[in-house]
Amino acid sequence: MPLLTRDPRLSARQAELLESWLPGAVTVRDHSWELAARAVLEVTWSGEPFIIKAGSGNDHHMEREIIAHDQWLTPWTSIGRTPVAVHKNAGARLLVTKYLPGELVLGTKHADNPRTYQQAGELLSQFHAQLSVRDPDDEARQNARSIKWLDGSHASPR
């Protein structure tokens, strides 16, 4: 398999950081989606598997994902239900996590299993239990936003 730093989707800065974090890492599998503006690579380094997410210059979601790892994912990482971040650099749009085996539910027998969605609900409950903020103006803002959207050119005739 090719050496990671030769991947043409990585910026020079990303390749430099990865070489300092995981020198000589080798790409095992490409998990990227065509719809996303990032490379998602499974690599091995020192006999251990990792996932690298390297955002392109127009990937504005990487910073949010890095913030999530820093501030929000402890309820899931503490029980092994989401990967643990080991290296990150928001400016370079780069995140390295430990590899967590699994597969997408879409297109599998699990997509029709109610237990799949029960587990997802349990995880969401744990996530949302971290913080509760009462915003007395939120409902009015959301209503105004919805009405503006509904009044747009794509709205159904009244």
Q: What is the pTM of this model?
A: 0.79
Q: Residue 78 pairs with which residues in a beta bridge?
A: none
Residue 86 backbone phi and psi in degrees, to 5: -115, -25
Using the Cα atoms of residue 13, residue 16, residue 20 and residue 25 in order, give the sign of their dihedral. positive
| pLDDT band, residue 152 (cuts 50/70/90) | confident
Question: Token pair for residue 110?
Answer: 């699990």
| pLDDT band, residue 34 (cuts 50/70/90) | confident
Q: What is the pLDDT of residues 103-148, one digit of tens each?
A: 889 999 999 999 999 999 999 999 999 988 889 999 999 999 999 9
Q: Please, what are the domains in the chain?
A: 4-98 (3.30.200.20), 103-133 (no CATH)
CA distances (Å), origin 85, targets 18, 107, 135: 14, 28, 31
